[in-house]
Amino acid sequence: ELKVEQNPLFLSMQEGKNYTIYCNYSTTSDRLYWYRQDPGKSLESLFVLLSNGAVKQEGRLMASLDTKARLSTLHITAAVHDLSATYFCAVSRRGSQGNLIFGKGTKLSVKP
């Protein structure tokens, strides 16, 4: 059974600091996704990682994938308040881009 573990679940950061969110998954998968969710809203797609060693960056966020270690990371550089949200990683099940197992999410709060 595919399980996805995310940590930390809560993260309080000061503006300007760096931090990393970790996402471990239990069985082989060929797709890993990172999403952002603001309160009361749906998901916003951040990154799609499809291969071992994949690294993608957008603004202050960078995601990477190590399929051998079954680990993905979401690195936040020089955090700003606007990054406050809940971040989810999700792993594809059965090779389907929509059949996803989600981590529990990391609630990020960036304080001045």
By CB under 8 A, name the binding residues for another protein.
31, 33, 40-43, 45, 48, 50, 88, 90, 96-105
The torsion angles phi and psi of 16, rounded to 5 degrees, stand at 90, -10
Q: How far is the CB of 6 from another protein (least distance, A)?
A: 9
Residue 51 gets which letter from DSSP? S
Nearer to another protein, 71 or 101 (CB): 101
Is the distance from CB of 49 to CB of 63 less than 8 angstroms?
yes
Nearer to another protein, 42 or 112 (CB): 42
Question: Going by C-beta distance under 8 Å and a sequence separation of 6 or more, which residues neighbour residue 84?
Answer: 108, 109, 110
Nearer to another protein, 76 or 100 (CB): 100
Q: How far is the CB of 107 from another protein (least distance, A)?
A: 9
